[in-house]
């Protein structure tokens, strides 16, 4: 309806003006006008998660973000926090979910250059598909509508190393081992191969263990992909499962 279109345009303009105003205020008076204009342009042209409507588009968005991270051209840092908090305070619209290791060198939002509210992240040492992780990811898909789950292993993973050595450890650390053993067997006790196989095995396990996820896959609403993150280069590589 014309009236609705007009109303939407007005809202969009109002929001753009608001974001530009906030950008000017937060940037401070000492910055040159060119920097302010560039800042405002970045904010208004940032892709919205709601536009990512397929598993393939979600994967492409993650990989594009990783390319920005590697090249040092990150967008997510330039978005002013005030409007972002306001946009996300009552709802989240993550387009992808990631099951990653808890390793401090794999900060998921950073390596994919994503703002608040865009990635639903489940982290546990060894990026393993425990019942709690599966339940969290089911919530991400069934309730929040995420289109993609990426299971991401990383180079020099301490959890895979520890499981490979199978040494006694304090507390409950050894409880991780049983989830990782199949990957160590598949990888022939080679660390790099086992890390790759672990991401693939956990990705397959998600679909196998969860009717919620497998149904979403069969309906074309979800993809689950294994991936590998290099601590040395910052690059994420999608693995063939
Ligand atoms: Zn790790």
Instruction: Note the pLDDT tens digit of each residue in 39-93.
Output: 444 444 444 556 799 999 999 999 999 999 999 999 998 888 999 999 999 999 9
Q: Is the pLDDT of residue 104 over 80?
A: yes
| 144 shares its domain with 55 | yes
Check residues 230 and 241 and name the one with the higher pLDDT: 230
| 104 shares its domain with 155 | yes
| 103 shares its domain with 143 | yes
Distance 229 CA to ligand 1 centre (A): 10
Instruction: Note the pLDDT tens digit of each residue in 206-217.
Output: 999 999 999 999
Q: What is the model's pLDDT at position 49? A: 52
Instruction: Note the pLDDT tens digit of each residue in 160-179.
Output: 999 999 989 999 999 999 99
Instruction: Note the pLDDT tens digit of each residue in 9-34.
Output: 434 433 333 333 333 333 333 333 44
Q: Is the pLDDT of residue 180 over 90?
A: yes
Q: What is the model's pLDDT at position 37? A: 44
pTM of the entire predicted model: 0.80
- CB atoms inside a 10 Å sphere around CB 71: 10
| 129 shares its domain with 152 | yes
Domain with 211 in it: 48-238
Beta strands in the chain (DSSP E): 96-100, 119-123, 148-154, 223-229, 236-238
Nearest to 166 by CA among 194, 144, 134: 194
Q: What is the model's pLDDT at position 223? A: 98
| 176 shares its domain with 121 | yes
3-state secondary structure 225-239: EEEEECCCCCCEEEC
Residue pair 65/121 in contact (Cβ under 8 Å)? The answer is no
| 38 shares its domain with 70 | no
| 39 shares its domain with 69 | no
Distance 123 CA to ligand 1 centre (A): 10
| 38 shares its domain with 142 | no
Number of folded domains that form the chain: 2
| 55 shares its domain with 23 | no
Q: What is the model's pLDDT at position 15? A: 36
| 137 shares its domain with 184 | yes
Distance 159 CA to ligand 1 centre (A): 5
Contacts 24+ apart (CB under 8 A), 118-123: 118/49, 118/93, 118/94, 119/62, 119/94, 119/95, 120/92, 120/94, 120/96, 120/144, 120/146, 121/97, 122/97, 122/98, 123/99
- Residue 40's alpha-carbon distances to 9, 14, 16, 85, 102, in angstroms, are 18, 14, 9, 17, 34
The backbone region for 156, taken as left when phi is positive above 0, alpha when psi lies in -120 to 50, beta otherwise, is: left
Distance 140 CA to ligand 1 centre (A): 22
Distance 158 CA to ligand 1 centre (A): 5
| 34 shares its domain with 95 | no
Q: Is the pLDDT of residue 3 over 60?
A: no
Distance 106 CA to ligand 1 centre (A): 8
Q: Is the pLDDT of residue 234 over 80?
A: yes
Q: Could you give phi then psi for residue 237, rounded to 5 degrees? A: -115, 130
Instruction: Supply the mean pLDDT for the chain.
Output: 85
Work out the burial of residue 112: count CB atoms within 10 Å of its CB; fewer than 13 is exposed, 13-18 middle, 19 or more buried. Answer: buried
| 37 shares its domain with 52 | no
């Amino acid at each position: 309806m014309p009236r609705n279109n007009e109303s939407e345009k007005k809202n969009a303009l109002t929001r753009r003006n608001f974001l530009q105003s906030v950008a000017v205020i937060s940037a401070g008076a000492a910055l040159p006008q060119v920097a302010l204009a560039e800042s405002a342009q970045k904010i208004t042209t940032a892709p919205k998660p709601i536009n990512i409507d397929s598993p393939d588009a979600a994967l492409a968005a993650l990989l594009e973000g990783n390319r920005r991270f590697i090249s040092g051209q990150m967008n997510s840092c330039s978005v002013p926090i005030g409007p972002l908090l306001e946009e996300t305070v009552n709802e989240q619209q993550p387009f992808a979910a990631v099951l990653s290791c808890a390793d401090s060198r794999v900060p998921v939002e950073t390596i994919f250059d994503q703002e608040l509210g865009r990635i639903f992240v489940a982290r546990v040492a060894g990026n393993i598909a425990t019942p709690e992780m599966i339940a969290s990811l089911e919530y991400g898909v069934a309730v929040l509508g995420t289109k993609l789950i990426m299971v991401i292993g990383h180079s020099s993973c301490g959890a895979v190393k520890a499981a490979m050595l199978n040494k006694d450890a304090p507390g409950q650390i050894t409880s991780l081992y049983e989830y990782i053993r199949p990957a160590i067997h598949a990888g022939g006790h080679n660390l790099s191969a086992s890390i790759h196989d672990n991401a693939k095995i956990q990705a397959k396990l998600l679909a196998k263990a969860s009717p919620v996820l497998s149904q979403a896959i069969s309906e074309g609403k979800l993809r689950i992909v294994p991936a590998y993150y290099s601590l040395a280069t910052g690059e994420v590589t999608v693995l063939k499962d």
